[in-house]
Structure 1
Amino acid sequence: MSPITNLAREGLNRRQAVALGLGGIAAAMAPLNARATPESARKLLSDMVKTEPKAGKVQIKTQEIAENGNTVPVTITVDSPMTDKDYVKAIHVVADRNPLPGVASFSLNPASGKAEVQFRMRMAETQNIIAVAEMSDGSAWTATREVKVTIGGCGG
């Protein structure tokens, strides 16, 4: 006997079972509440990068105010010659108000030619984007950029 037949015998008809299933799918697809905090973002970065990052060398280019947080373009550039002896090994990006703090990690090497990455991210509310570049000499550099997300034309 199928589970649906079993449910019908116990008082739940097929239409109710389908509605219940669709409700479960809708609940699973609902956006997560923001869980990341500035502390969880810093903890994630310290777990990924063992060296204390210093300010400088990293630039975050993005909108100051995002009218649509569904697709915010971000460019991260690191001042590096990208030679065999001096290059960016990785760029890690976190956000302190997203459902999860980790946004992206990029691996680079001298063959990358340029220490720059571009991507789009979804932002539900105003928050900081933090980027850390790990260098081949073991040093780490960082930058932070606040992006204000408007909701219906008002700052969020």
Structure 2
Amino acid sequence: MTRRKALTRSAQVALMLGQLGLLPRVAAAAYATAAFEAKTVPELMKALGAGAPAESKDVTITAPDIAENGAVVPVGAATTLPGAKRLLILVEKNPSVLSAAFDVNESVEPAFTTRVKMGQTSNVMAVALMADGRVLFAQKEVKVTLGGCGG
């Protein structure tokens, strides 16, 4: 078999598999654009269709007291409550209050860590959206000595 025939035959097989729906499709991230464009916590809760958050000791946030560089601030959010469907990390004084959103199901432990940018000293919040409609949060003030959001 020549190289030309092999390429032609493999293209025909790929076309046939594509028509049958057996090839993977392009994956695209889906997120709520309005949520990431929200400037305040009440705007964010409205965009997500959630109620006002209530403080809870069952939601925890981990972050440094002082961040030397606001461009890379390590932040973690977790909850011990069953029934969490989404965890959010919010930075109140950032241009966009929502910094990260993590979907949770019964197969995923609701504990996440990431790095966020902070332009200035601000309250950082971990918010848990529960399956029963409750919105619970924990917050911590993080002092930034060198801004990361254009600072």
Following TM superposition, by how much is the alpha carbon of 1:49 offset from its aligned partner in structure 2, in angstroms?
A: 4.6
| C-alpha distance in structure 1 between counterparts of 2:52 and 2:146, whole Å | 36
| 2:59 pairs with 1:64 | no
Instruction: Give aligned-pair identity as a percent.
Output: 34
Q: Once superposed, what is the RMSD of the aligned Cα atoms?
A: 2.3
1:50 aligned partner, one-letter code: A
TM-score by length of 1: 0.63
Counterpart in the other structure of 1:137: 132
TM-score by length of 2: 0.65
Does the C-alpha gap of structure 1 residues 93 and 45 become closer, same or farther in structure 2, counting only changes over 3 Å?
A: farther
Following TM superposition, by how much is the alpha carbon of 1:69 offset from its aligned partner in structure 2, in angstroms?
A: 1.1
What is the number of equivalent residue pairs in this alignment?
111
Does the C-alpha gap of structure 1 residues 49 and 63 become closer, same or farther in structure 2, counting only changes over 3 Å?
A: farther
Secondary structure of 2:145's aligned partner: strand
| 2:47 pairs with 1:51 | no
| C-alpha distance in structure 1 between counterparts of 2:46 and 2:79, whole Å | 19
Matches within 5 A, 1:1-156: 40-56=40-56, 57-80=58-81, 86-112=82-108, 114-151=109-146
Q: Unaligned regions of 5+ residues in structure 1, if any?
A: 1-35, 81-85
Counterpart in the other structure of 1:18: none
